[in-house]
Amino acid sequence: MKRSVKSAIPLILVCVMMASPGRPNAETEKVPCIVSFDFETAEFYGWESYPYAQDIGWDPRFLCLEEPTHPGSRFSLARMMEPNDVMGTYVGFTRQIDMWTSKDTRWKCLVYLTADRRPPQLELSICLLDGRRYLRIIGSPEVNRWLELDLPLGDFTANGRPLEAGQRIQAVTIKAEYPRTNDFISYTIHLDDFSLSGERPRRLLTVEPASTVLDQLNSVYLHRHYFFGDPLTLTVKPEGEDDLTRVVCDVLSPEGKAVVSRARLVRSGAVWKADKVYTFSSKDPSGAWRVNFTGLNPQGLEVKWGFSFLMPGKRLAAGVHPRLFFTAAELKKRLATQTAPEKQLLENALRGQTAWRTTDIDAIEEFRPGLFNGYTAMGPYSVDPGLGWRMPMTRLCNVIQSGAWQYALAGDEGAGLKAKAALLKLCSFGYWTGEGWYRINNHVHFPLGYVAAPAGLGYDLLYPLLTEQERQTVREAIVEKALKTTYRDLVEMNRMPSNLTNHIAVTVFGTSIAAAAIYGDEAANPSVEPWLSGILAKMKAFIDRTYYPDGGYGEPMSYQDMATRDLVQALDVLSRNFGVDYASTTSLKDTYLYPLYATYTNGVLPDFGDVSPRYDLAGSTFTWLSFRLKNPWTFDFVKDRGEPGREGVLGWLWYPKGVTPKSRTELVPSRHFPVKGNMVMRSGWEDAGSILAFRCGPNSNHYHNDQGTFFLFTNGNELLSDAGHGSSYYTNLYYPCYYTQGIGHNTMLVDGIAESQWPADYENGVVALRNYPKITSSFAGWTADEVEGDLTCVFRNLITGYRRSLLFLKPDILFLYDKVRSDQPHSYSWLFHAEHTNGKSSITYDHGDLRIDRPRARLDMKVLAPEIASSRLRTSDRDESFITLTSHDGLKDTEFLAVLRPAATSGPTDPAKKMEAELLQPAGWIGARIKEDNRTTLAMFRSGAPAGKTTVGGCATDADRFAVETAPDGTARSLFLRGTQFDGMGVSVRSSNQASLSVSFADDLAQVEAETAGTTLTLRLPEKPEEIDLNGSPASGWTYDQDSQELRLCIPEGHCQLTIK
């Protein structure tokens, strides 16, 4: 519906405090503002579904619809959900909006709920940047009619307190939840004419040069670029009446260094001018610079605003090509000075470039569907849409790339001419994204990146073969079919605003390369703005959001590989041509860490969600990190790749030199990834060993409702797997009801409900929307690992508490402990999945003894608690099965305890090792004693005993959990402890602060690993040590008391390793 409030391009009004520091504690002037969205163009305007979609890159149930619409409106935003069973569903929206509340703040919108029943409530929320969330609950809202909402600020409350003026908003949400549903119909929420009033900081606007404000991407940039020798001159004016008494500016280099500080601008009529405040020289770094302005009004309030701009350094002259990956001079030198291995690598790479020889481009025609040809078809007989609109362009792009490389690197003009013909034919196509996507106003789909990049590469390498008219044709195609569409969709509309999808990476990789290829060649717009900087802003938002600082990534690893192997090509081009460094300055530089820890040497890895359980450790990502960042850990895999040229021409371009490899075997083999919410636990680095991966963290793109699940691999075989990685996605009718739900994973179900879990929130930067499970404790060591996570929040309010723990006593004893609380009676079921062996289920179960036999590994599991009332073994739609172990009904609280022993085997006929397991349940504790031929292991978990020192199993301790392994003669071999003290079984250890400790004894050697915030450790030893090493260096300041036989020393914060001889 049309309203008086403007919303043609969304005013998200993010307050980017991008100016110079100004005066300490100075207040910023604010002005009234209204953000509004009427969806009349059938675009999303930065909205997304909430709770977030399982795949935000392709969400066909989030769209703009023509019906129902409010009178006078053409479209409304809609989110549809189709329940899989009667257990309920939810529908809703969210949008990030950065502004301040004022006394006049009002929330207005139209909401329409399509349903067969009223939801108990419609929940509206305003999420503040400080993490508080204020709600307005509308009880039992009417359905199948438009609800007109007009709500003042005070209607939103948190803990009974109304929302006040002067609070900074970060996001809003709208959600209706249906506890029970009819699974034969869909439930839809519609939104129209949304507006929110408040305040935002007053701004300074550029008069010359032109600029663009992208509040939704926290980016404001100049259209002009600067080069060596250029003076920096700008003219600005404040919003509204010019009442400023002073304006100063700072100029910052890409490293954030101020090269100009508080330079005064001169008032000239109605504008302020910064005249030649800085002149760029060859001593300056190229890249993304900033100029920040600070004005002062008569009331002493500051007006602060800033702009980024590119300073590529040396001017890229029009018509000078190649330039993307090398110049003509650089290529000539490289070919002349390459080593014999490099030469062989290049020959092998060019030998693989055959598409230009084998493809009949005259037979390729643009695909023009009569109906929408996207991923709408569902079910086992649906048609692969890639055979339609993607395939003709893919074939042409293969010809372009192979022929262009052959021409540029081998001088084959025939290959170049064939590539040129393919390039011009590609440019004649009407669409580079499937025509059907335009019809629903999604202007781009990720395969566009795989079209734009070859087009840019072809333009760059084939430039000498193109006439001026042909060059113009290619440039126009790149601008109209790639840059403008991407800019509109991903930048102006900020589609996929959580920025957690590889779709963004692939799209911006290709379009940024295409923009760099034509940069400077179009006289009317040599800087290719505003598209270039807008695409870079979206790229940076994706990198900042999806590449986690812990070395993890916000999607499964197969998508990390897809995104990164493409993205690094663009990063190489951007660094070479513009000095833009999104590699060493972002968390992308650490993205190798998760696959480094989680993989076997052949790339097999346990991973969650929609995955292929393999990662290419010698692929483009590790090759580029070795080349660009001289990473020794990735180079250790790249240096020995068995098939030279496997990475094609890029493998030759990125041939690493001057890197000394480091083996990951130097590292502790396990690691907690706190932002990703995963724990990787390894018995060691050997390929015959075990890898366990545990999931307990934020939801994200392509993940499932599987919090608390874990994978277990031994000897390269999956022992405990899940349904997810075998899915054929949206064409599989089991996908929404099995593959993505708790029942398809190694989780707990409540009352047998397949969808016992809601999806958790994303970690997308919205501080108030972090309702996701969290790992509350972890320890990663050489001899023991331990992890505990709180999973309560995703269990649909069915339970009041749920913690899952895994304790790994290396190399082969695992304890799985669940503690569940509820205020209502339930039955509880524990699920375990395994791949088939020789076409049959690999799972057998008999009275608490579960076994999984795989070709090269075996798992024996003893289920000790609770009493299992029933078990059921089922096979899914592919070669995997799962067993459900269900408790008695009527339980409120329960505990699950199982002992798992994985083992490498040479086959299913290998005899199993004998293992006896005894359940121990002294008051307030639960645990087990495991007896084997050569050892006894005692593990205990505090389940209800009051905090503090107590005696259990003959041991005095204040630990929350502990485990002791003893030899047949009763001598202690190792101890794990989470607490501060333990005394028993010949071991005495104390810590002045809370700690996780692993202690092992062998001959005259004691080894201690500690995870603490800093502590004083006391350890009883029969003799004074001769030598103590702390983290590889001699320890100092330690004492030994002969009378008490106690060693005392201080241990610093973090993970520490002690070797005591």
In a domain, 806, yes or no: no
DSSP 324: S
Is residue 39 domain-shared with residue 109, that is, in the same domain? yes
136 touches 124 (CB < 8 A): yes
Residue pair 663/741 in contact (Cβ under 8 Å)? The answer is no
Q: What's the pLDDT at 641? A: 64
Q: What is the pLDDT of residue 908?
A: 74
Mean pLDDT of all residues belonging to the chain: 93
Residues 103 and 229 in one domain: no
pLDDT reported for residue 369: 64
- The proportion of the chain whose per-residue pLDDT surpasses 70, expressed as a percent, equals 94
Q: What per-residue confidence (pLDDT) applies to 183? A: 86
Do the Cβ atoms of 782 and 810 come closer than 8 Å? yes
Angle formed by the axes of helices 390-410 and 328-337, nearest 10°: 70
Which residues 6+ apart lie within 8 Å of 127 measured at CB?
133, 169, 170, 171, 172, 173, 766, 767, 768, 769
Mark whether 533 and 628 lie in a shared domain: yes
Peptide bond into 866 cis (omega under 30): yes
Which residue among 201, 229, 251 closes a domain?
Answer: 201
Residue whose C-alpha is closest to residue 235's, from 247, 219, 218, 217: 247
Q: CATH number of the domain that 500 lies in?
A: 1.50.10.100
Q: Does any domain span residue 328?
A: no
Please return the burial class of 451, using the count of CB atoms within 10 Å of its CB with bins 0-12, 13-18 and 19+: buried
- Kindly report the CA angle at 181 between 175 and 182, in degrees rounded to 5? 135
Sequence length of the chain is 1061
List pLDDT tens digits, range 931-982. Answer: 998 899 999 999 998 989 999 988 999 999 999 999 998 889 999 999 999 9
What is the rounded CA–CA span in Å between residue 699 and residue 709? 13
Average pLDDT over every residue of 1026-1034 = 94
Structural domain of 462: 340-353+401-666
590 lies in the same domain as 641: yes
Q: For residue 68, is the peptide bond before it cis, meaning its omega torsion is within 30 degrees of 0? A: yes
Distance of CA 48 to the CA centre of its chain: 17
Place of tokens 């977030």: 52
Q: Which residue has the higher pLDDT, 642 or 78?
A: 78
For residue 48, is it within any domain? yes
Domain boundary among 618, 636, 666: 666
Alpha carbon of 195 to those of 33, 70, 111, 379: distances in Å? 10, 16, 12, 40
| % of the chain residues with pLDDT over 90 | 85
* Any domain includes 717: no
The predicted pLDDT at position 389 comes to 81
Query: 194 is written with which tokens?
Result: 């949304």
Count how many domains the chain has.
Answer: 4
Residue 130 domain-assigned? Answer: yes
On whether the CB atoms of residues 978 and 959 are closer than 8 A, the answer is: yes
Question: What is the SS3 assignment for 244?
Answer: coil
Contact 783, 810 (CB under 8 A): yes
- Residue 188 located in a structural domain: yes
* Position 726 in a domain: no
CATH number of residue 992's parent domain: 2.60.40
Q: 856 pLDDT band (50/70/90 cuts)? A: very high
Minimum mean pLDDT among 153-162, 301-310, 582-591, 904-913: which range?
Answer: 904-913
Give the pLDDT band (50/70/90) at residue 374.
very low
pLDDT at 726: 63
- pLDDT grade, residue 19 (50/70/90)? very low
110 and 171 assigned to the same domain:
yes
* d(C-alpha 829, C-alpha 87), whole Å: 17
Tell me which of 181, 201, 221 is where a domain ends.
201
* Residue 238 shares a structural domain with residue 306: yes
Residue 755 located in a structural domain: no
Q: Please count the other Cβ atoms lying within 10 Å of the Cβ belonging to residue 994.
A: 15
Tell me, yes or no, whether 196 and 218 share the same domain: no
Kindly report the CATH number assigned to the domain that includes residue 122.
2.60.120.260
Q: CB-based burial of residue 240 (10 Å sphere; 0-12 exposed, 13-18 middle, 19+ buried)?
A: exposed
- So what's the pLDDT on residue 23? 55
Lowest mean pLDDT among 26-35, 135-144, 809-818, 902-911: 902-911
Residue 899 has pLDDT above 90, yes or no: yes
Report d(CA 231, CA 223) in Å as an integer: 15
Q: Is 851 exposed, middle or buried (0-12, 13-18, 19+ CB in 10 A)?
A: middle
Instruction: Using alpha carbons, list the distances in angstroms from residue 213 to 15, 221, 673, 930.
Output: 11, 7, 35, 65
724/982: higher pLDDT: 982
Q: Give the pLDDT score at 727.
A: 64
Query: Using CA atoms in the order 301, 303, 304, 309, what is the torsion angle rounded to 10 degrees?
Result: -160
What are the tens digits of pLDDT across the range 401-426? 999 999 999 999 999 999 999 999 99
User: Which two structure tokens, joined as six digits, stand for 265?
Assistant: 């601008």
Whether residue 218 sits in one domain with residue 106: no
Which among 304, 417, 421 has a CA at the least distance from the CA of 364? Answer: 421
The terminus-to-terminus CA distance of the chain in angstroms comes to: 79
Q: Are strands 1046-1051 and 1039-1041 parallel, antiparallel or unpaired?
A: antiparallel
119 cis-preceded (ω within 30 degrees of 0): no
Domain co-membership, 259 together with 301: yes
Please give the average per-residue pLDDT across 116-138, as a whole number.
98
pLDDT tier for residue 434 given thresholds of 50, 70 and 90? confident
- The DSSP annotation for 837-861 comes to BTTB--EEEETTEEEEEETTEEEEE
Q: Let me know: does 443 contact 488? Beta carbons within 8 Å.
A: yes
Confidence of residue 646 (pLDDT cuts 50, 70, 90): low
Q: What is the mean pLDDT of residues 128-133?
A: 98
| Pair 1052, 968 in one domain | yes
How buried is 706 (Cβ within 10 angstroms: 0-12 exposed, 13-18 middle, 19+ buried)?
buried
Could you tell me whether strands 801-809 and 857-865 are parallel, antiparallel, or unpaired per DSSP bridges? unpaired
Q: What are phi and psi of 869, to 5 degrees?
A: -80, -30
948 and 1014 in a single domain? The answer is: yes
Mean pLDDT score, 323-329: 97
Cα(130)–Cα(167) distance, integer angstroms? 9
Task: Kindly report, residue by residue over 681-719, the tens digit of the pLDDT.
Answer: 999 999 999 999 999 999 999 999 999 999 999 999 999
Examine the domain organization and report whether 140 and 251 are in the same domain: no
Are 165 and 196 a contacting pair, CB within 8 Å? no
